[in-house]
Amino acid sequence: MSFLDIRHYKYLTSSIDRNLDFSAFMDFEHHYQVSENKHEYSIERSYFSYKESLVENTVDSSIQSIMDMESKLIPIFAQMERTGVYVDEKKLRDIGEDIARESKNKELEIYDLVGERFNINSAKQVQVILFEKLGIPVSKKIKTGYTVDNEALSLIGQKYEIANIILQYRTLEKLRSTYIDGLLRVINPHTKRIHTTYNQLGASTGRLSSESPNLQNIPSGSGYPARIKSCFCPESSEFSFLVADYSQVELRILASLSGDTSLIETFVRGEDIHTRTARFLFGEDATITSELRRIAKSVNFGVIYGITGFGLSKVINTSPAEATKYIDTFYAMYPGVRAYYQSILDGANKNGYVETFYGRRRYIPGVRDSNKMIRAGAEREAINMPIQGTAADIIKLAMLRISNFLKEGTYKSRMLLQVHDELVFEVHESEKDMMEKQIRSIMEGVFPGPLKLLVDIHTGANWSEAKG
């Protein structure tokens, strides 16, 4: 079964990637019968047969293989949406009650400290309370006054306990509103499962996005986040959850694409990449504390995003000059990366687009803009896309092969979710060990080259336990 959706062609070739303009393709409009009821999951509702496609032969050959892959993925995503993921509704409700109770206590504590009631969910009202009523010194200005975001409140919290309580309240309310109430609302009453919608055209890099609900931003970590994730589980005790995730994909891709010997060596030796960068930044003999490793980790991620010293300074809470020094040191220690980035920018200037290892393109009109800010932003997009996009290509290819594998064997195990570098399955006990071997082998085998991709696999009774 294979499909071609005209929007994919537009997605892969247009420089206006977010504003899909159908006007050039009006002839094809009658092929669309978009259903209002997404739970019908009728594949035909928005796709038309590949063979009927009139654009089949007009697809630019350079993106043909990506177009092919995306077409073959359509029924796979549709299948995953239709399958959905079971959620323990009662357990989720109970956690919600715990959170609500704790949130209510924080709320009263805040009123008590301030001496008046107000809407803590209103950033505007929090501004008034903190900066006008309590006279706390302000930091960064925004359109409506002074920001009271996480960064600002953390800083204020060093002197004024009220800010810490507000932060705790916010965290609890976020969990309650988005991840308890939000998820309870979308449990399908017939299937008792949550059926997300994957948007194959959602991200300009080639990544998927997930909506109604977004299952790609379920909180991770200990405490309430772990309890919430533990509600995602198999419907029957004959099954386990299996989570397979690519280890450090983007940095490994950067190593492969850039050919930087130092970066490659680090991975080949099996060293911890963040600790390695930390020694580069703070000296070979320095004791790498968790704090120094945390900074190095942010630098490593920052480089993938093409981040500026200014941007990094906010993430690691230091001066822009200091942050710029870290970035410069990174490039000095991994010189192949700098050269690789330059070649990407040269390509973007010459061609107007950048591309992934597999030939997926993103058009970057901003690199030729006369405005310096726009140009700088465009250069960050240009640098990030081949890395993030190659990672997206890799997991999509793996999903295709895994899907084919699952189909051939008439197994009971099913692929449920994709979270950018992670795949979640429910596997039957009788197939568990074999699935682990096969899934790892397929995922690690997708990307060629001397630097192997590594996949971590964990199994457990639910999504939290299987996270390892």
Q: Which of residues 311-350 bind DNA (CB under 7 A)?
A: 311
**Binding residue for DNA (CB under 7 A) from 53, 171, 390, 462?**
171
Residue number, 233 or 307, with CB nearest to DNA: 307
User: Can residue 104 be called a binding residue for DNA (CB under 7 A)?
Assistant: no
From candidates 214, 317, 351, 371, binder to DNA by CB under 7 A: 214
| CB 183 to DNA: min, Å | 9
Q: Give the C-alpha distances (Å, rounded to integers) separating 50 from 58, 399, 433.
A: 13, 20, 37
d(CA 120, CA 173): 10
Which range of residues in 28-36, 202-210, 348-356, 425-433 is near DNA by CB under 7 A?
202-210
How far is Cα 97 from Cα 103, in angstroms, rounded to an integer? 10
Which of 277, 300, 388, 462 forms a contact with DNA (CB under 7 A)? 388
- 240 phi, psi to nearest 5 deg: -125, 165
Is 167 one of the binding residues for DNA (CB under 7 A)? Answer: yes
Least distance from DNA to the Cβ atom of residue 71, Å: 21
Structure tokens at 304: 């993938």
Residues from 392 through 431 that contact DNA (CB under 7 A) = 419-422
Q: Is 181 in the site for DNA (CB under 7 A)?
A: yes
Report yes or no: 436 and 241 within 8 Å, Cβ to Cβ: no
367 close to 379: Cβ distance less than 8 angstroms: yes
Instruction: Report the distance separating Cα 110 and Cα 408, nearest Å.
Output: 59
Query: Where does this chain touch DNA (CB under 7 A) — which range of 101-109, 142-150, 281-289, 425-433?
Result: 142-150
Q: Which of 104, 174, 192, 437 binds DNA (CB under 7 A)?
A: 174
Task: With beta carbons less than 8 A apart as the criterion, state whether 81 and 42 touch.
Answer: no
Is residue 221 close enough to count as binding DNA by CB under 7 A?
A: yes
Please give the DSSP secondary-structure letter assigned to residue 232.
B
d(CA 461, CA 467): 10
Peptide bond into 213 cis (omega under 30): yes
Among 2, 49, 64, 150, binds DNA (CB under 7 A): 150
- How many residues in the shown chain lie near DNA by CB under 7 A? 59
Strands 422-428 and 239-247, bridge-based pairing: antiparallel
Among 75, 157, 225, 320, the residue binding DNA under the rule CB under 7 A is 225
Length in residues, the chain: 468
Q: Which two tokens stand for residue 399?
A: 């999903």
Per-residue contact string for residues 8-27; x = within reach of DNA by CB under 7 A: ----------x---------
Nearer Cβ to DNA (175/282) = 175
- Smallest separation (angstroms) from DNA to the CB of 93: 16
- CB nearer DNA, residue 174 or residue 407: 174
Q: Are 164 and 110 spatial neighbours (Cβ–Cβ below 8 Å)? A: no
Helix (H, G, I), strand (E, B) or coil at 243: strand
Per CB under 7 A, 371 contacts DNA: no
Task: Give least dist CB 260 to DNA, A.
Answer: 20
Burial 286-323 (b: 16+ CB within 10 A, else e): eebeeebbebbbbbbebbbbbbbbeebbebbeeeeeeb
Compute the least distance from the CB of residue 217 to DNA, in Å: 3
Residues forming contacts to DNA in the complex (CB under 7 A) are 18, 119, 121-125, 142-144, 147-150, 152-153, 167, 170-171, 173-175, 177-178, 181-182, 185, 199, 202-205, 207, 209-214, 216-221, 225, 305-307, 311, 377, 380-381, 384, 388, 419-422
